[in-house]
């Protein structure tokens, strides 16, 4: 960002996350979406945006431009990062929300197309300059970073939980299972896919899957490297996810009530990303939440002397909000650099 000029944002992938990013950016005063690349038709992308936006009347389609009162975003029918001329739109940053372009080579293609930075919506496939979760390691962000990941919704929820608890307790190890809404890369009916279980019907089954969070945890929270096993159960729910985490604490005197108190203090410290729910909520109650972790105080249990189980809720809208936070973080680093030179 230059002075008070809005951040010029490009989005690739106008799916659920891309549309949420667009909607949140449209409601802001500091981010302007200048271009959107997707394989979908412009009128259908507009229709999908309107069907789920909180204020659908704000979004108009004018030829190949998606418009609000304060921004015009060019819709580009493009299916690879290498084809997208980001330089034409003078973007400050591109968020790749396709979920499929996660490799260094893909990110380099965005940069070669004129994007000064690329931020991916999920965990990377191979190498990356930085994985940033704003409340946890924004201090690690470097103005020279070009390829950045904002982790994934699940990884963010897990890291926030571990970060807050580890400020008060010694966590020896743990295991996280996310009971996860099905995703659009799963099949409606049994259909040969990338592996056996992912080939089974999503709305008909509980489908066990692996999760990458464990592999990347050490990059975000170094003291947890190799200490937490992570997995997914994709269930027949369209939206809303539940993080079920069991932790082994060093101190056998810690109670479930102590854990809840620490999480309540954490929510006060990170009010933007974390909240504690005291009510007996279910998954549909978290739809529309912009928190990255809604800690469920009723879900905390203790077994034996060292074993604590917790529950936490999240959905993708919170992650869309965090992606914009990361874009703002790098814009502020650019401003500081500019001011210093
Ligand atoms: N939603 C979740 O909870 C969740 C969880 C884990 C992983 N993911 C994965 O993250 C990714 C993004 O999530 P989402 O919910 O926004 O997914 P989504 O399927 O709603 O959105 C993906 C968008 O990218 C577009 N796209 C696909 N291929 C493209 C290409 N080659 N070029 C340009 N655009 C392309 C699609 O048209 C779609 O609009 C997906 O791959 C999803 O499977 C999602």
Q: Which CATH superfamily is domain 153-315 in?
A: Dihydrodipicolinate Reductase; domain 2 (3.30.360.10)
Question: Helix, strand, coil shares of the chain as percentages rounded to 5?
Answer: 35, 25, 35
pLDDT tens profile 116-146? 999 999 999 999 999 999 999 999 999 999 9
CA of residue 96 to ligand 1 center, whole Å: 9
pLDDT tens profile 269-313? 999 999 999 999 999 999 999 999 999 999 999 999 999 999 999
pLDDT tens profile 181-226? 999 989 999 999 888 999 999 999 999 998 999 999 999 999 999 9
pLDDT at 229 over 90: yes
Q: What is the pTM of this model?
A: 0.95
From CA 314, how far away is CA 151, in angstroms rounded?
Answer: 14
Name the DSSP letter for residue 180. E
What average pLDDT does the chain have? Answer: 96
The CATH number of 7-151+320-340 is which of 3.50.30.10, 3.90.1150.10, 3.40.50.720, 3.40.47.10? 3.40.50.720
Which positions ≥6 away from 140 have C-beta within 8 Å? 130, 132
CA of residue 239 to ligand 1 center, whole Å: 14
**What pLDDT does 163 receive?**
98
Q: Stretch 8-20: mean pLDDT, rounded?
A: 98
pLDDT tens profile 242-251? 999 999 999 9
pLDDT at 23 over 90: yes
Is residue 4 very low, low, confident or very high in pLDDT (cuts 50, 70, 90)?
confident
**What pLDDT does 3 receive?**
54
CA of residue 21 to ligand 1 center, whole Å: 13
Determine if ligand 1 sits within 6 Å of the CB of residue 181.
yes
Mutate to test the pocket of ligand 1, among 46, 81, 98, 315 (most ligand atoms within 8 A of CB): 98
Residue 294 token pair: 């809604």
Is 153-315 the same fold as 7-151+320-340? no
CA of residue 271 to ligand 1 center, whole Å: 28
Query: What are the domain boundaries of the chain?
Result: 7-151+320-340, 153-315
Determine if ligand 1 sits within 6 Å of the CB of residue 113.
no
Give how far the C-alpha of residue 212 lies from the chain's centroid of Cα atoms, to the nearest Å. 14
User: Do residues 107 and 150 make contact, with C-beta atoms less than 8 angstroms apart?
Assistant: no
């Amino acid at each position: 960002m230059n002075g008070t000029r809005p951040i010029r944002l490009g989005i690739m992938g106008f799916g659920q996350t891309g549309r949420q990013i667009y909607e949140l950016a449209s409601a802001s005063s500091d981010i302007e979406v200048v271009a959107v690349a997707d394989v979908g038709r412009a009128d259908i992308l507009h229709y999908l945006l309107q069907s789920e936006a909180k204020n659908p009347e704000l979004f108009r389609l004018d030829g190949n431009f998606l418009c609000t009162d304060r921004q015009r975003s060019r819709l580009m029918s493009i299916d690879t990062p290498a084809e997208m001329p980001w330089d034409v739109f003078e973007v400050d940053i591109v968020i790749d929300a396709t979920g499929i372009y996660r490799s260094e080579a893909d990110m380099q293609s965005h940069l070669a197309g004129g994007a000064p930075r690329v931020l991916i919506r999920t965990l990377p496939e191979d190498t990356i300059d930085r994985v940033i979760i704003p409340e946890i390691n924004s201090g690690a962000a470097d103005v020279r970073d070009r390829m950045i990941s904002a982790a994934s919704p699940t990884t963010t929820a897990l890291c926030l939980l571990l970060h807050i608890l580890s400020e008060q307790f010694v966590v020896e190890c743990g295991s996280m299972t996310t009971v996860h809404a099905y995703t659009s890369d799963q099949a409606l009916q049994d259909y040969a896919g990338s592996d056996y279980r992912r080939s089974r019907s999503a709305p008909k089954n509980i489908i066990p899957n692996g999760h990458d969070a464990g592999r990347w945890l050490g990059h975000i929270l170094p003291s947890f490297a190799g200490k937490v096993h992570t997995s997914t159960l994709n269930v027949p729910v369209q939206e809303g996810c539940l993080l079920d985490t069991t932790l082994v604490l060093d101190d056998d005197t810690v109670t479930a009530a102590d854990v809840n108190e620490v999480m309540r203090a954490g929510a006060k410290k990170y009010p933007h990303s974390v909240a504690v729910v005291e009510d007996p909520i279910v998954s549909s109650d978290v739809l529309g939440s912009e928190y990255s972790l809604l800690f469920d105080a009723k879900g905390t249990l203790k077994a034996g002397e060292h074993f604590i189980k917790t529950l936490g809720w999240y959905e993708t809208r919170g992650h869309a909000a965090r992606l914009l936070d990361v874009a703002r973080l790098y814009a502020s680093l650019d401003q500081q650099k500019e001011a210093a030179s």
